[in-house]
A and B are shown apart, each in its own frame.
Chain A
Amino acid sequence: MTFRHCFLIASLLGVNTACAAELTDWQLPARLSYGYGTEAGESVHGYLELEPSSTFSLSPRTRLELSARARLDSVDELEPGKPSLDTYSEFSKPVTLGTAGTLELRDAYVEFELDNGIARFGKQQIVWGRLDGLKVLDVMNPQSFREFILEDAGHARIGLWSAYVDSTIDDWRVEFALIPDATGHQIPDEEAWFQLTAPRFRYGAKPGQSAPQMTTVREQDWFKETAAGLQVSRFFGSVGVSAMAYSGMEHQPLGRIAIVDSAPVLERHYERRNLLGLSADMAIGSVALRAEGAWQPGRTFNTRSATELDTDDLDQATLALGADVFAPLDLFINLQVLFDNIKNAPDTLVRPAQDRIATAVVRRSFNYETISVELRMNSSLNTGDRLMSAAATYDYRTDTELELKFESFRGNERGLFGQFEGRDRLIVSLRQFF
């Protein structure tokens, strides 16, 4: 039993004690999901997932929110064996349940109602930005890439121990976040179904090239790893505008080669990044428009030459635009495009100097929204590779959902989506709310 375990148990006990407080709400969604790799001809996953959550009222204006996720995967191809989970901070790391499961505390925070806002302290998700899936300004929390980007953003996002204040001053909304938790993205281990094999994720290594031993190195100084963010928002007429400043550790690790016991070891480490961002949205008739822009000066990127794996500090500018359209025939269409540019990128940069990504979603509901059909496509305009999915959801009963989904990847193995070519998957899920 590690300190981590003790901390978790202590938290739960403390919470139990606090159950002198009033339980005001609880729910227990359960999901049973089976995935089959259609090209691979094998099962990908077969898991049961429980996500209990509860709300306790500690005082008239104070409440405690708790939520957790327990997952048991009998097929265990998504996270084969016992996951390393070394990208998590000590206080955020999920508990492994043997080799096939994990138990994770997702939210555990106390929220105080202020006169003009709220203050939250604890493990929580802080979501900034306005786009779906394109994380230009949604940088406060890391995410799990266990299923690449195929999980819903809220499902994949990893909560962090943080302090968050959201207040309204006159016409301005001011949000401030302090995040001492430096958990990074959960990156699938080797041999995972969605192992990231594109060079940009493997520090420039070619696809198929075997990876050296990897370790994850952390600063061990929570103060130095603390992230902070400030966002101010207001409406100008009907246009909502936000300006944001963020400084925190990268969620995606950089790599460096260290020699340990005379053997090369790939050390994954994290550097600080700073971000200034601006976003806006407005609605005109049957169209809602969104935009996000980010400027990250001196961001650290890996470079790889024939002889060394190094880093370089470069400026990165990102712009993303999105539109929701209520189209004829009751179609909902979402279109997004992202332009990402690293200035003065050297040829040895492990990732493309420019990314051009487009996403499209078409959704339609039938039968009084009991049936929903969605087509989705994500495409890298640089390389032409793409991800397509089609899903149908049926609300069988009030609290019972059935889902059928098919995902397909096409493209070059070096591409963002093409790296998963051959990993097409058919998924059947049942979700029941208790």
Chain B
Amino acid sequence: MLKRSKAELFFWQITRNPLLVVLVSVMLLLGTAAGLLTIVKDTSVKAFIPSDHPSRITDQDITKTFGLTDTVAVAMISQDGSTVFQPDALAALEQLSEQIADLDNIRDDRVSSLATKSSIRGDDGAVLVDEYVPYGSLSEADAQDAFARWQNMPQHQGTLVNPEATAAIVMAEMRDIYEAKATYDAIQGIIADLDAQSDGPHFEFHVAGPGAVSGLMSAYIDHDARRMQPFVFVLVISFIFIAFRRFGALPGPIFVVLGATGGAMGIMAWANVPYYAITNALPVIIIAIAVADAIHILSAYYQLRAQQPEAPVRELVVKAMVEMMRPVTLTTLTTIAGFIGIAVVSIMPPITAFAWFAALGVFLAWLFSVFALPNLLVLLKPAPSPSFDNWKQNRPSGTGRFLAHCGAFAAARYKLVLGIFLVLVLIAANGAMKVTFDRSQVDNFKPDADIRIADELINDTFAGTAFLNILVEADETDGLMDVGRMQKIVDLQTFAEQQPHVQKTVAITDYISQLHKAIEELPASEERLLPDSDNAIAQYLLIYEVSGDPTGLEEDIDTLYQKALVRVAMNEPHFSKNRQTVEAIQQYIDQQFNEPGFTAALGGDVNTTYHWMKSLQENHLTGVAVSLLLVFIAATLMFRSLASGFASIVPVCFALLVLYACMGYTGVYLEPATSMFAAIALGVGVDFAIHLVDKLREALRLHNGDVIAAVDHALPPVARACFFNSAALGLGFAVLTLSELPTLQRFGGLIAVATFTSFLAALLLVPALFALGRSAHRVALAAAATTAVLAIVIGVIAYPNTAHAAEAYDGNTIAQHVADRQEGDAARRILDITLTDRRDQTRERQALVLKLKQEGARLTRISYLEPRSVEGVSFLSHDFHSADRDDDRWLFVPATRRARRLPASARGDYFLGTDFTYEDIQSELKFNMDDYDFEYRGTETLDGKKLHVIAGTPRNEDIARQLGYGAFEALVDETTWMPVKVDFQDPDREPLKTINVHRVETIDGIVTATRIEATNHQTGHSTVFALRDVSHPDTLPGNIFQPSGLTRGLPSSVLK
């Protein structure tokens, strides 16, 4: 009798009492899975930030102090541009507000709309706080009165009603985000009833808002995932049946899958780890990995069964287990290593939890595969499988032979195969470099989904539904009853309102300003004016409480007057576009706001997403790299061969590259949902290569290093198993593409692609690498070289991509940096102008240029000093930031002694005979973000300096005509954010002119272009502006920027 090996002995032992082992396994399964009854869900965005993260703490503080919860927004938008300030419309709005407040999941004290809010106005020194919509029936006079009062309430413009007064919004806070779907449906019902009743003005209703979007997404993911998961399970099991064509083959894998999945999820629940949104993917992953072990073990059993039909089942089972123990353990360990790599690097609780419990699931799959599966097979004694009939003659199946032929081809033509893979690597690398980090919750819905359309419409119409909250806190009770501190809040609001995509800020200071204007009978304006004394603030708040709803300010200031909330409304939900705003405001808070005893902290969804994404940027690729490293180490240790370790990870590296390439080419962002794809692809895909490497090493020993013979021998059974495994997984994941949610579609599609790619890459690359190594005895070197190439490619993509993602370089970002370049509040400079025509004849002029930045406008005065023929001629321009207001211009000619008003348009007209347009002169070499669409075109080196290249195209033909430009391409220096060269095309897209900045200096801390040349390619004319005597004082006299200042001449203080 042959001495049994240790492995054989082990499996003989554990199959001594199969029923007992199976029963114990069942009890283990039931015991762990019972935890599912206690599972706690937390599918919110906030869950992705650790609970001790400052932003999370701030949000908790805000919720506790101000009671803010997730919001649903219902917009009422006029279809024909009519005003909402009509009796019928206001009545409809009131009815809508009341019915929404009546819903169970809505906090009836937290419904904000015109129907629930009040205006503040003054009347002979008294403060009147009046509801916009008075009780009872509404008359036209009431509506007009409401309109007039609303016009004097800047904080309600854009937030309750859009600036054009053609749309109104109801913002309602929900009690339970998990009931968001039901609430959404209920509101849709209310709207449908309103629509049916209405015979007045025509309004359309839209429901969105951060709470609705988050809640709906969670609900849809839950619903779709739960709908799909059983389908995936059934599909996988079906493939197992197709692979073995025996029903008897099914119980084993089913039991392993149930044990692994139920066990991991159950233990997760027992450990009080919440069920996050991302956890929906966990059962699918565990199913995928668990079924792989079972397929390989069953394949080995059925092959032995066919070859030794008379042998006892137990012996065949033990032999199969002994044969598969090693590769199954190898794949388990490598997969666990991969998930551990993700778990240790990520700081986001849901991702960490996902990775740990995926690793646990893989371990449980191994446990059940090693202990329960063989005992089930011994008990059930599955009949031979017709799929393995060929093995009766020791011939592999057709599928196995075909796959072996593929492997053999790859081994025989290894140079060709490796060459093709290298080319594919380059193509994939190009795609992978296009991947960007970005996120917008609403992009997880299909473009034609109601919620998405509604969200975009509401963001376009109102101040926005993306909120950044700033919690301002004093260190003592009544600490906010301080004019200086209130002024700091006003300054913070002013700063925030200057940031990109910030439409509005609302804070207690708006109400104090309103009260101050009412009491002091000051004219209505958007400017926030505070009283002079601390006592006045306290008195104003008391007056408000007495005159209006005492709880009316509870969303803005706490009852101890120690904490205040500044709500920053943004109309841009994308992380890449609003990250700059978050960083700028945070920097302002850190550097200019916070002081001992008075601090501010950021919170809100926008901030949470920012930290979420930032963490992802910083950790994602590190996590993948660590996972790959751990897999490599595990494989190397288990095979005791560096070459085999490399050969094991090359195919999965390729699959990951292809995964990133698919994301890059299809524009799929790297965000929390998609960031798991790499980990999953790694976990699922590495198994194929491990199995092939293991079998090939064994076969090489038997065939004395003949790779082709080894491939022919080893591949049929293992490749067949891998094939069915990949087919089951790939098609199983592909089912998710049938989901309604783009998120799940992307998940299913990309993992399916990664699975198939891993299998194909393993099938072709592993034999090719072995052949390369054998032929030149440089297996290690070749595999290392290939892996190194792949690793470098992934690293190069990862690092610059991380860098790019960290800086979010795109055309808009570069242009925004240029636009945000500081120019100082005032500027004075002498401009020497040289005009050269095509015959090189020059004319020279000299002008004094003065600029002043005022709130809402930029003032420019250009006074010619020379030549004598134009001495004293002055041009004055008031450029208003608001698109609604035309710029004002005047020209003063000394001979006429009068300042002549000029028409405002013609920004594209050339300025007083130069090659610079009015727009060029006033823009200070910045690009107007409202005029152009920008595109990033990489970098270029000019004079040894690396410069960013961006292209700009006017947003529409009107703008192109106004500006006189059809497009431009600019080279921007990121050290100064100054364009160094700008090539303009005319509206017919013909080259028009080039502006070169020849010299840049920093003067008074302001980066200033001091020599600029414009060359018109169509006329051959050029203009040089050389600036000297440049200064940036804090301010200049405002009266010199008025028409009266033109006729009076320049004061001596400015001339010198």
Contacts and interface: CB of A to CB of B under 8 A. Distances in A.
B906 A286 contact: yes
- Considering the complex of A and B, which 8 residue pairs feature the smallest CB-CB distances, nearest first? A369-B913, A433-B868, A154-B895, A127-B897, A286-B905, A368-B913, A281-B901, A283-B904
A326 B909 contact: yes
A195 to B, nearest CB: 26
B903 A326 contact: yes
Contact of A285 (B895, B905, B909): B905
Given A401-B869, A433-B867, 8 more contacts: A127-B1047, A157-B897, A240-B901, A283-B888, A283-B889, A326-B905, A367-B837, A398-B867
B1044 A153 contact: no
A29 interface: yes
A167 B319 CA distance: 108
15 contacts: A29-B869, A113-B1051, A125-B897, A127-B897, A154-B893, A157-B897, A168-B1039, A240-B901, A285-B886, A285-B904, A286-B903, A324-B901, A330-B909, A367-B837, A369-B913
Interface in B812-835: 835
Contacts of B1043: 240
A399 B902 CA distance: 25
Interface string A98-128: 0000000000000101001110000001110
A166 B1048 contact: yes
Contacts of A281: 901
Contacts of B1019: 368
Nearest to A57: B1052
B843 A395 contact: yes
Nearest to B845: A398
Given A284-B904, A397-B843, A238 B869 contact: no
B3 interface: no
A125 B888 CA distance: 26
Interface string A227-242: 0000001000010100
Interface in A138-156: 152-155
**Interface size classification for chain A:** 35 or more
Nearest to A289: B901
A84 interface: no
A282 B901 contact: yes
Contacts of A113: 1051-1052
A368 B837 contact: yes
A370 B913 contact: yes
Contacts of B902: 283, 288, 324
A326 B902 CA distance: 9
Interface of A: 25, 27, 29, 57, 60-61, 63, 111, 113, 116-118, 125-127, 129-130, 152-155, 157, 166, 168, 173, 233, 238, 240, 281-288, 290, 324-326, 330, 365, 367-370, 395, 397-399, 401, 431, 433-434
B1021 interface: yes
| Interface-central residue, A152, A326, A434, by most chain B CB under 10 Å | A326
Nearest to A60: B1052
B886 A154 contact: no
B871 interface: yes
Contacts of A173: 1042, 1044
A27 B837 CA distance: 27
A238 B1052 contact: no
Nearest to A434: B868
B897 A368 contact: no
Nearest to A370: B913
A422 B893 CA distance: 33
A203 B1052 CA distance: 50
A324 B837 CA distance: 30
A154 B897 contact: yes
B917 to A, nearest CB: 13
Interface string B880-913: 0000011011000111111011111110011011
Nearest to B906: A326
Contacts of A325: 903
Nearest to A323: B903
Interface of B: 835, 837, 843-845, 867-869, 871, 885-886, 888-889, 893-898, 900-906, 909-910, 912-915, 1019, 1021, 1039, 1042-1044, 1047-1049, 1051-1052
A324 B869 contact: no
Contacts of B894: 154
Nearest to A233: B1044
B1021 A368 contact: yes
Contact of A238 (B868, B886, B915, B1039): B886
Nearest to B889: A283
A199 B480 CA distance: 80
B905 A130 contact: no
Contact of A153 (B896, B901, B904, B913): B896
A233 B910 CA distance: 31
A216 to B, nearest CB: 27
A297 B893 CA distance: 33
A117 B1048 contact: yes
Nearest to B902: A288
B869 A399 contact: yes
B594 to A, nearest CB: 38
Given A118-B1048, A288-B901, A283 B886 contact: yes
A403 to B, nearest CB: 12
Nearest to B895: A154
Contacts of A398: 843-845, 867, 869
Nearest to A117: B1048
A155 B896 CA distance: 8
B332 to A, nearest CB: 74
Nearest to A118: B1048
Contact of B867 (A284, A288, A399): A399
A25 B868 CA distance: 10
Contacts of A330: 909
A61 B1052 CA distance: 7
A176 to B, nearest CB: 14
A223 B929 CA distance: 62
Contacts of A283: 886, 888-889, 901-904
A18 B845 CA distance: 31
A368 B903 contact: no
A154 B872 CA distance: 14
Contact of A368 (B835, B868, B904, B1047): B835
Contacts of B903: 283-288, 324-326
Contacts of A397: 843
A27 B913 contact: no
A298 B843 CA distance: 55
A408 B103 CA distance: 84
Contacts of A326: 903, 905-906, 909
B525 to A, nearest CB: 13
A60 B1055 CA distance: 11
A251 B1039 CA distance: 33
A399 B864 CA distance: 13
Contacts of B869: 29, 395, 398-399, 401, 431, 433
Contacts of A61: 1051-1052
Nearest to A325: B903
A61 B889 CA distance: 28
Contacts of B893: 154
A333 to B, nearest CB: 10
Contacts of B1039: 116-117, 168
A399 B64 CA distance: 75
B906 A368 contact: no
A324 B889 CA distance: 12
Contacts of B1047: 127, 166
Contacts of B844: 398
Contacts of B896: 127, 152-154
A40 B950 CA distance: 66
Contacts of B897: 125-127, 154, 157
B1035 to A, nearest CB: 15
Contacts of A60: 1052
Contacts of B904: 283-286, 288
A80 B885 CA distance: 55
Contacts of B915: 368
